Chains A and B, each alone.
Chain A
């Protein structure tokens, strides 16, 4: 197991290196001079050259990249063009907001999708099954920001139950955090719930038609035991991956929702960095998201090996 994890960690490092290269090269293609943007409209040549030199932008590309990676290995992702703060600090500051939003959204989604998906498969063709299908069709066809706007209008506007936007740290004021996270997490979670409901339903349906389920029924086990012991365990193995991918994509991609709800997460940070051409911050944010993605994948693989005895890890 340890060897398996170590091997996967090593692979992850290689992938991350690839990510830095791609991001680095892509940013070279973006038009606009970041130093100029950082300095605003009034500056003299001397200040310009100084900043350019301090940022290493006067070096050849290969050298720039090598120095970036070298520093990254020690946790130094450079400094923001805009604020001069270390990128690592900036991103780490934003991480809790994003993580708490993404995790809440996925938990809300699972709360709905798990029972709905399983029940609609076990009672396929029933009224509940049809309702579930309408729900998931609706959820995947409506974009999350629209759901967010409707949520704001209804729960913040008409009913006045929840604040329309803003963020309170979970560690400072859990209740305040909860009231703020509910709307954005609900908006994102609804879409995730639809995707997961569909996936869980079809996965359970597939397992229900397996021969070993008939074997279990032939043994005269109660149907609850057949479903829980024989069906779910098998059906949930692929679901784990989808949940992890959903979570990872939420961590990296709730930009619109974070902007809409003034949620100071990594998505919002990415958005601002693009606007300001703050390349070091942009690179840092992308790198962090990629690292989290890889970590999630590793966790999924370990979980897989625990759930499915056919996958040998030793």
Chain B
């Protein structure tokens, strides 16, 4: 099913790389790499710097989890990286998708790259499908646009995809409308849609938040399974640290528009070095954590309109270092290979 003779520069995708196996030498270029990404949104009350200086990358077959409270800039980071930020946003920094510098490309070229190589699964399946088009049409219209399929070929492909994501009797369902599906089934449709052009990157923005618990588990399993089978790189935005532990290779924790800690999942979970990460992990009541339910952390996250000069977490920080924390932005420093943390006072493992 996956023939890729069209792109010789593709990173190797030797099936599934299990995250517990040591990764090979870093010869493969990341599927998506963002560097110093900053997003400023013009609002009525002035510019809001919603994302600042974010760096991360994700390789073929790997999963990067983006976590953080509501409003920390997770969605905006991936939207801005792929050219989907709101019109009022100003985006700076570098974004490389499959080796191409996206920020330098004219919009039509960027649009085609995005449609052809990136699949998106958004949070709410009840609103992310067009109510007046059949699901079959929506699942594969990108294939008509980017792969030159005819309507008939696209329809066949849609049946295949609906089958792949576990929708029963796909040949009948392909002509149904979104309102004829349940929430979980709709999210399967959205996933089928995201996979339609065999993307190199799948961006899942809280794909299970709007679903009930049983369905959540099914959808998580489905995406993880598809990633293993297709070798797609995945950026997974979630509040659910249980999911992070289960499916991600690397994790980036965001706070106030910046990354405060990032690294391999095991390293970060075993030895959280930022007070915020530690609080997040401590507040984990089990699967299905929703927005902002962090009883262990007093106070609320900063507004992007009014960010403190120093560490954004300082006002809520249980450690409360010193005046430097209040006035100076801590740099992102390594505490272990590949594990970086933005604080002047990294917590030691047994703190």
Contact = CB atoms under 8 A, between A and B. Distances in A.
**Considering residues B122, B124, B130, B145, which has the most beta carbons from chain A within 10 angstroms of its beta carbon?**
B130
Given A212-B130, A309-B177, A310-B179, A219 B84 contact: no
Contacts of A219: 115, 141-142, 145, 193
Nearest to B120: A218
Contact of B179 (A211, A216, A309): A309
Interface stretch (B106-114, B236-244, B263-271, B310-318): B106-114
A89 interface: no
B77 interface: no
A229 B151 CA distance: 15
Interface string A205-226: 0000011101111111110010
B259 interface: no
A36 interface: no
Interface string A254-267: 00000000000000
B285 interface: no
A225 B145 contact: yes
A211 B112 contact: no
A233 interface: yes
Given A220-B142, A221-B115, A221-B145, A215 B120 contact: yes
B131 A309 contact: yes
B132 interface: yes
Contacts of B229: none
Given A217-B84, A220-B113, A220-B145, A307 B132 contact: yes
A211 B127 contact: yes
A220 B113 CA distance: 8
Contacts of B122: 211, 214-215, 218
A218 B112 CA distance: 10
Nearest to A211: B127
Nearest to B112: A220
A220 B130 CA distance: 16
Contacts of B130: 212, 215-216, 230, 234
A241 to B, nearest CB: 16
A75 to B, nearest CB: 41
B128 interface: yes
A216 B190 CA distance: 11
Contact of B128 (A211, A222, A225): A211
Interface in A171-215: 210-212, 214-215
A225 B130 CA distance: 14
Contacts of B131: 212, 234, 308-310
B340 interface: no
Contact of A220 (B127, B146, B193): B146
Contacts of B120: 215, 218
Nearest to B134: A309
B133 interface: yes
Overall SS of chain A's interface: helix
Contacts of A212: 127-131
**Chain A interface residue number, banded:** 20 to 34
Contacts of B146: 220
A212 B177 CA distance: 14
A221 B114 CA distance: 10
Interface in A11-64: none
Contact of B177 (A221, A233, A310): A310
B4 to A, nearest CB: 19
A212, A218, A225, A308: residue with the most chain B Cβ atoms closer than 10 Å: A218
Contacts of A310: 131, 177, 179
A222 B132 contact: no
Contacts of B133: 229-230, 233
- Name the residue in B114, B128, B129, B179 with the highest tally of chain A Cβ atoms < 10 Å from its Cβ: B128
Interface string A275-314: 0000000000000000000000000000000011110000
B116 interface: yes
Contacts of A217: 84
A212 B132 CA distance: 11
Contacts of B113: 220
A58 to B, nearest CB: 59
Contacts of B138: 215
Nearest to B190: A215
A211 B124 contact: yes
B132 A309 contact: yes
B82 interface: yes
Interface in A223-260: 225, 229-230, 233-234, 237
Interface in B166-206: 177, 179, 190, 193
A215 B84 CA distance: 10
Nearest to A216: B130
Interface of A: 210-212, 214-222, 225, 229-230, 233-234, 237, 307-310
22 contacts: A211-B124, A211-B128, A215-B120, A215-B190, A215-B193, A216-B130, A217-B84, A218-B82, A220-B112, A220-B113, A220-B115, A221-B115, A221-B141, A229-B133, A230-B133, A233-B132, A234-B132, A307-B132, A308-B131, A309-B132, A309-B177, A309-B179
The 5 A-B residue pairs with the shortest CB-CB distance, nearest first, are A220-B115, A211-B127, A219-B142, A309-B177, A218-B120
Given A212-B127, A221-B115, A221-B141, 4 more contacts: A215-B138, A219-B145, A230-B130, A310-B179
